[in-house]
Amino acid sequence: MSGSLLRRLITAAAAGAVVATSVAAAPAHAAAVPHIRDGQTVPVYSYENAVRESVYVQTSLDNDQDGVPDKVAVDITRPREAADRRLKVPVILEASPYYSCCGRGNESELKTYDANGVIAKQPLFYDNYFVPRGYAFVSADLAGTNRSTGCMDVGGREEVLSAKAVVDWLNGRAVATYGDGSPAVATGWTNGKTGMIGKSWDGSVANGVAATGVRGLETIVPISAISSWYDYQRYNGVLRSTDYPEYLHRVVNGRPAGVCDTVVKQLDEGSDDATGNYNAYWAERDFRPDASKVRASVFIAHGINDTNVTTTQFAQWWSRLDVPKKIWLAQQGHVDPFDIRRAAWVDELHRWFDRWLQGLRNGIEREPRASIETAPGTWVDEPAWPAASARSTRITLGNGDGTTGTINSRINGGSRTWSDAPDLEEATAVANPNTAVPGRVAFLSAPLTSPVRISGTPTVTLRVQVDKPTTELTARLVDYGSATRVNYLARGEGITTLATESCWGESTTADDACYRDTAENVVTSDHAILTRGWQDAAHHVSLRRVTPLQPGRWYSITVPLQATDQRLATGHVLGLIVQASDNEYSTPQSTGATIRLDLRGSSLSLPLAGRLPIAGATAPAVPTAPAPAALSPPAPKRFQPLLP
């Protein structure tokens, strides 16, 4: 036995002994709820002795078409001592497709079961930490994954309703059985108050279930989560990858070969790669229009530099919610806050669940709504997001020296013409903005005379002529200036996993609460991309239909960029880089166009706190480190083979 494992077991045993003693020694006049002291929940119940059970919740669907209602496999860990006292506890629920295929967390933990098929290990720390504090932890295999029946429909009705059925069962509105077919009833041990949590796909399910308005769902904590599957797999008509829904289905599918062929065909036909249109298939997977139905409070966490589940996902959802809400924005990419700001995150999550699931008036809803990482390791709390001081500001584009244009110029005439270079890599496109690079055009502000902040969703409007029926248009905002920044494009997306570990809750021989520590991965660089945006030109009228461009005709096309919150220091230069096709972040359907850009009819719209200086006649010189040599074949797409 390793020293590390032995230490965990000794720690767990000692913790269990303390818990047992504290429960047994409680005087007769002790509070009716022993896990609540001084306005918060405390660990008084034994995790080792917890009730562990696995049940199957029946849904109202049969999308595997076998004539039997689909069932969701649900694994439960709950405090035995609370059950013995007939105390009903709230539930923390994570519904996921990843429990057998891919794992959860930075260490990719999977579920494990004992010889009788009952849950032995739940991934992540939620059960280890919260069960001793008077919560039940419930993990549900989404339909068609792991031990559930049905078929995974990737963000669709089956997926959302299979998770909703679990909330209904916890509130006595659905039926479930144990593995032997005997009835399983939850209302004897839970008060029905449920909070859903999860990162990425798991958090997306929480958003979808909340959008049904289901009663009993009191709060959700979506981490790096999707609110519109169209915006995850399309960028305003631009495909991220062909056959993407089918790919996701294959990765998480837990059913025998052939069982879900009908659903896979529906994914292929419904997603409509041929046009990139938003249609009924995508509307079913768009939770934002139903934000008004959400009853639950919402605690969002997201990486400002997430290039997998991009920031539009949280920003569009956040702006529509009219419930108690809170948001954490980190400088990392697709990373859980547990691996960024661990102690503070666990404490905040604890207080959030205590407030909305245990009903403890701890005041968390009156505290600042937003916590934002402004630089590596530096966090600020603010009353709102976007920043209240940010104002939408229209900024002109100028001709500059004819090669490099200017931002915020008093004279904004001139034009640019360039031909699409589909294999132009991002690193090359944003480097050396004072030189001509085939396939891109660059614009620079004057050096900042005071700090500015971009907080919200920028856009760039381009007046263009295109010699083909369509083209992809790609825009990037760049901060040119030396700074120490989170290295979110590196492996780990801004974190480094260390050899040490820390423990968050109690452990058993099958399920330890100890996780590798992490540190921010930082780098000093002379420039950094602040945000990106993409638009298919033929979808400029509507995402629901293609409107081909006529050669020789001028069109005004707006490219929405991803939401952001970034600060630029005095002396730095703001850059705008525009190109056509982007083969790193998308799969262009039409390439090779020649584009003419009219600067007088083009502009940049920034949610700006502070002011940009007026540009001079020419752009400032901005030296950057040499761009990497072009790769052949092109660099792999950054989002593959990532999963949401």
Q: What is the pLDDT of residues 347-399, one digit of tens each?
A: 999 999 999 999 999 999 999 999 999 999 999 999 999 999 999 999 999 99
- Helix H, strand E, coil C: the string for 261-296 is HHHHHHHHHHHCCCCCCCCHHHHHCECHHHHHHCCC
Answer positive or negative: Cα dihedral of 532, 538, 541, 545.
Answer: negative
In a domain, 640, yes or no: no
pLDDT class of 640 with cuts at 50, 70, 90? low
Of 325, 350, 382, which closes a domain? 382
Is 126 contained in some domain? yes
Residue 529 falls within a domain, yes or no?
Answer: yes
Task: Report, as an integer, the average pLDDT of 65-94.
Answer: 97
- The pLDDT tens digits of the residues spanning 479-489 come to 999 999 999 99
The answer to whether the Cα torsion of 34, 361, 504, 314 is positive or negative is positive
Residue 139 — φ and ψ, nearest 5°?
-115, 130
Coil vs helix vs strand at 467:
coil
Active site annotation includes 334? yes
Distance of CA 416 to the CA centre of its chain: 36
Q: How confident is the model at residue 637 (pLDDT cuts 50, 70, 90)?
A: low
pLDDT for the residue numbered 451: 98
β-pairing verdict for 415-419 and 594-609: antiparallel
Domain that holds residue 322: 31-382
Q: Is residue 624 part of a domain?
A: no
pLDDT-derived band at 644 (thresholds 50, 70, 90) equals confident
Q: Is the same domain home to 299 and 439? A: no
Res 58 pLDDT > 60: yes
CATH of the domain at 408: 2.60.120.260
Cβ atoms 99, 105 nearer than 8 A: no
Domain identity same for 464 and 546: yes
Residue 497 lies in a domain: no
Instruction: Look at residue 3 and give its three-state secondary structure.
Output: helix
Domain count, the chain: 2
Do 412 and 287 belong together in one domain?
no
- Asked if residue 442 and residue 315 are part of one domain, the reply reads no
Q: Are residues 333 and 420 in the same domain?
A: no
Assign 426 to helix, strand or coil.
Answer: helix
**Of 169 and 20, more confident:** 169
Same domain membership, residue 196 and residue 71: yes
Phi, psi of 618 (to 5 degrees): -130, 160
**Domain check: are 372 and 399 in the same one?**
no
Q: Tell me, yes or no, whether 426 and 557 share the same domain.
A: yes
pLDDT category, 478, cuts 50, 70, 90?
very high
128 and 228 share a domain?
A: yes
pLDDT of 632 > 50? The answer is: no
Is residue 400 over pLDDT 90? yes
| Catalytic residue status for 319 | no
CATH number where 117 lies = 3.40.50.1820
Q: What is the pLDDT of residue 643?
A: 78
User: What is the C-alpha separation between 568 and 21, in angstroms, rounded?
Assistant: 56
pLDDT over threshold 50, residue 259: yes
Residue 625: pLDDT band (50, 70, 90) is confident
Residue from 334, 350, 527, 540 carrying the catalytic annotation: 334
Asked which of 382, 414, 438 is the last residue of a domain, the reply is 382
Q: Kindly state whether residue 490 falls inside one of the protein's structural domains.
A: no
Instruction: State whether residue 530 is helix, strand or coil.
Output: strand
Mean pLDDT of the chain: 92
Report which of 553, 528, 542, 475 is spatially closest to residue 236, judged by C-alpha positions: 542
Q: Is 302 labeled as catalytic in the residue annotation?
A: no
Helix%, strand%, coil% for the chain, nearest 5: 20, 30, 45
Q: Say if residues 309 and 232 touch (Cβ distance below 8 Å).
A: yes
336 & 398 share domain: no
Instruction: Give the containing element (helix H, strand E) for 113.
Output: strand 112-113
Asked if 361 and 480 sit in the same domain, the reply is: no
Does residue 498 form part of some domain?
Answer: no
Instruction: Look at residue 504 and tell me if it is in a domain.
Output: no
Q: Which of 54, 96, 148, 200 is catalytic?
A: 200
Query: Token pair of 48, please?
Result: 């080792």
* Same-domain check for residues 67 and 215: yes
Condensed to tens digits (0 to 9), the pLDDT of residues 110-130 reads 999 999 999 999 999 999 999
| DSSP result, 551-580 | TT--EEEEEEBPPEEEEE-TT-EEEEEEES
Catalytic residue among 75, 306, 339, 354: 306
- Point out the domain boundary residue: 336, 359, 382: 382
